[in-house]
A and B are shown apart, each in its own frame.
Chain A
């Protein structure tokens, strides 16, 4: 199954990510966002960062989840190379997500060719179709 597809957008970055489950689609959305900045598949998975976010709905959960990638890059110099153990719980008022980001520290080793400044809600979609889950996101670049 195709993990994600980058779509044209006038000012910024837009993608659709796919998954048989919600969790898989979220993980692929993280890889899609990373792919706008570096080749995630070339990043050694030698460091890990646990990620835990909450959202009032799935959209906010996704927004905050993707923002972790930007935060870890800006503040910790961390390049995402893979996502593991992603779980989403619908717990009463809030949705909860936990996952482990694997990757490496930026340095001379990797080329960084794009900067995602922020996640946005613009044209954001999280849908369950007959082929599985589809997530659409526009990020500010």
Chain B
């Protein structure tokens, strides 16, 4: 495939054939190699062919091939002529990350690390097929789909401040739970308040390096050695079923002829089907916000129990990695409302955006980028430049480079646990095969991903954190 070099970290597939806009890839030469190794670029081209796409089809530095849209794909569509696509959001709707700060330092937790992790492991349900602690009624679930994290706070999980420090304040207001299928709800009822499995995790981390002390301070990160907690999970079976239901319904309504890839199925945003998917997706987003809100609450309880206090455990932020949102951006010199699809990408609003909590409006939003298991994660800040570069978006993680199958062939979960222990990282899991699948060697180098994000200006480096305790589902 022909790629035009724009600069060291920016590449372009010029418009050709059916493409309505060019595709732009943010990657270093090193990252580009792995991007070229799978069908990421073809998928970015396919996205560029969709009706009403604006500016460009974007590919983030951690991209890899997905279904329909690439993972790490960002595309925005005109609200009149454009489309919305379940494949542009992904199956795990509002898979995302929440980051909590603490007043504790590495020294405070030194002797208690094992106990902290063991207690979290006890309190937070995780793993495949593990139900939550709460048995929900359909009525309560419907309320959660509408109210998101706000429901959780009203019911004693966490604090009102947490909502301010969550994208959309933990509740997408366009949510409508009435079109979420009974089947999606049946899958969602036993899973609320659970971490799940796969790449989802919960980490106790310490701040390893601060790049920008002033911004870090505004985010609540005050010094190296400070303890943070990161929670990475999504909307579980409910979100997966919503995606799958609407892929099927859209096929019924629009057929599949002419689609280069069946997962690119879409509906006009203004159509009844498009609106219905959007509202149901918002409901799944809310489920995920509530899910992370409950888990954060249990983590605080554990800190209180083990360390005597959960003081200072405010929320730095909570970001979505798989979502479609209506946002205002400049296109062709004028502001317009668009439907921005981010699939495996993080919003990175810069200073001044009205959507941000007041505390962050001067520096831009916290962008939370988890690394692979046992490696560093990063806290970045959104930038003004990102608006013009990528509709205010950046990477979401490390991105896989090795199959699960291959990882299991090469690594053993128990060995990984022992290796991490030697590096001072405690690991607990319900599933050692799952640990092997998530071996850090199966992922891209997250340091390289965030370096590119920072150099290009998609999101700038604020702090690097490393795990001291990891819980895997």
Which residues of A line the B interface, CB within 8 A? 6-13, 37, 56, 59-60, 63-64, 67, 70-71, 73-75, 77, 106, 112-115, 117-122, 124, 138, 140-141
Contact of A10 among B186, B247, B403 (CB under 8 A): B403
Contact of B241 among A9, A37, A71, A121 (CB under 8 A): A71
Contact of A70 among B237, B263, B434 (CB under 8 A): B237
How many pairs of residues, A versus B, come closer than 8 Å at their CB atoms? 105
Which B152-190 residues have C-beta < 8 A from chain A?
A: 183, 186-187, 189-190
Question: Is the pair A140, B91 in contact by a Cβ cutoff of 8 Å?
Answer: yes
Question: Is the pair B434, A11 in contact by a Cβ cutoff of 8 Å?
Answer: no
Minimal beta-carbon separation of A124 from chain B (angstroms): 7
Contact (A122, B263) CB under 8 Å given A60-B248, A71-B187, A141-B198:
yes
New A-B pairs, 4, CB < 8 Å, besides A12-B404, A117-B237, A121-B263: A56-B252, A63-B248, A75-B186, A115-B129
**In this assembly, does B251 line the interface, its C-beta being within 8 Å of a C-beta of chain A?**
yes
Contact (A11, B91) CB under 8 Å given A74-B191, A124-B262:
no
Residue-wise interface mask of B (190-232) relative to A, using a CB-CB cutoff of 8 A (1 in contact, 0 not) = 1100001110000000000000000000000000000000000
The segment from B13-21, B60-68, B464-472 found at the interface with A is: B60-68
Minimal beta-carbon separation of A71 from chain B (angstroms): 6
Q: Which residue of A lies closest to B442 (CB)?
A: A10
Residues on A with C-beta less than 8 A from B187 are: 71, 74-75
Residues on B with C-beta less than 8 A from A113 are: 128, 431, 433-434
Question: Is the pair B64, A9 in contact by a Cβ cutoff of 8 Å?
Answer: no
Q: Which residue of A lies closest to B68 (CB)?
A: A122
Please list the 9 inter-chain residue pairs (A to B) with the smallest Cβ-Cβ separation, ordered nearest first. A121-B262, A75-B186, A74-B237, A74-B187, A113-B433, A8-B403, A118-B91, A115-B128, A122-B67
Residue-wise interface mask of B (68-90) relative to A, using a CB-CB cutoff of 8 A (1 in contact, 0 not) = 10010000000000000000000
Residues on B with C-beta less than 8 A from A8 are: 403, 405-406
Question: Is the pair B64, A10 in contact by a Cβ cutoff of 8 Å?
Answer: yes
Which B376-431 residues have C-beta < 8 A from chain A?
A: 400-406, 431
Give complex CA distance A115, B434 in Å. Answer: 9
Contact (A71, B67) CB under 8 Å given A112-B129, A119-B244:
no
Question: Is the pair B244, A118 in contact by a Cβ cutoff of 8 Å?
Answer: yes
Query: 19 pairs across A/B with beta carbons < 8 Å?
Result: A7-B405, A10-B38, A10-B403, A11-B404, A56-B251, A63-B244, A67-B244, A71-B186, A74-B129, A74-B186, A74-B187, A74-B191, A106-B129, A112-B127, A114-B197, A115-B128, A118-B91, A140-B67, A141-B198
Which B134-161 residues have C-beta < 8 A from chain A?
A: none
Q: Which residue of A lies closest to B238 (CB)?
A: A74
Minimal beta-carbon separation of A123 from chain B (angstroms): 9
Question: Is the pair B190, A120 in contact by a Cβ cutoff of 8 Å?
Answer: no
Minimal beta-carbon separation of A125 from chain B (angstroms): 12
Residues on A with C-beta less than 8 A from B261 are: 121-122
Minimal beta-carbon separation of B248 from chain A (angstroms): 7
Contact (A10, B65) CB under 8 Å given A59-B262, A114-B434:
yes
Give complex CA distance A120, B91 in Å. Answer: 9
Residues on B with C-beta less than 8 A from A74 are: 129, 186-187, 190-191, 237
Residues on A with C-beta less than 8 A from B243 are: 118
**In this assembly, does B240 line the interface, its C-beta being within 8 Å of a C-beta of chain A?**
yes
Minimal beta-carbon separation of A137 from chain B (angstroms): 12
**In this assembly, does B318 line the interface, its C-beta being within 8 Å of a C-beta of chain A?**
no
Q: Which residue of B lies closest to A124 (CB)?
A: B262
Minimal beta-carbon separation of B440 from chain A (angstroms): 15
Residues on A with C-beta less than 8 A from B262 are: 59, 121, 124
Question: Is the pair B183, A71 in contact by a Cβ cutoff of 8 Å?
Answer: yes
Contact (A37, B401) CB under 8 Å given A140-B67, A141-B198:
no
Residues on A with C-beta less than 8 A from B237 are: 70, 74-75, 117
Residues on A with C-beta less than 8 A from B401 are: 10
Minimal beta-carbon separation of B291 from chain A (angstroms): 14
Give complex CA distance A29, B228 in Å. Answer: 44
Q: Which residue of A lies closest to B432 (CB)?
A: A113
Give complex CA distance A11, B66 in Å. Answer: 8
Residue-wise interface mask of B (293-326) relative to A, using a CB-CB cutoff of 8 A (1 in contact, 0 not) = 0000000000000000000000000000000000
The residue among B68, B196, B244 with the most chain A CB atoms within 10 A of its own CB is B244
**In this assembly, does B92 line the interface, its C-beta being within 8 Å of a C-beta of chain A?**
yes
Residues on A with C-beta less than 8 A from B127 are: 112
Question: Is the pair A117, B129 in contact by a Cβ cutoff of 8 Å?
Answer: no
Give complex CA distance A66, B286 in Å. Answer: 27
Minimal beta-carbon separation of A120 from chain B (angstroms): 5
Give complex CA distance A114, B263 in Å. Answer: 23
Contact of B128 among A75, A112, A121 (CB under 8 A): A112
Give complex CA distance A118, B91 in Å. Answer: 7
The residue among A63, A74, A124 with the most chain B CB atoms within 10 A of its own CB is A74
Q: Which residue of A lies closest to B255 (CB)?
A: A56
Question: Is the pair A10, B402 in contact by a Cβ cutoff of 8 Å?
Answer: yes
Give complex CA distance A75, B141 in Å. Answer: 14
Residues on A with C-beta less than 8 A from B68 are: 122
Residues on A with C-beta less than 8 A from B437 are: 114
Q: Which residue of B lies closest to A107 (CB)?
A: B129
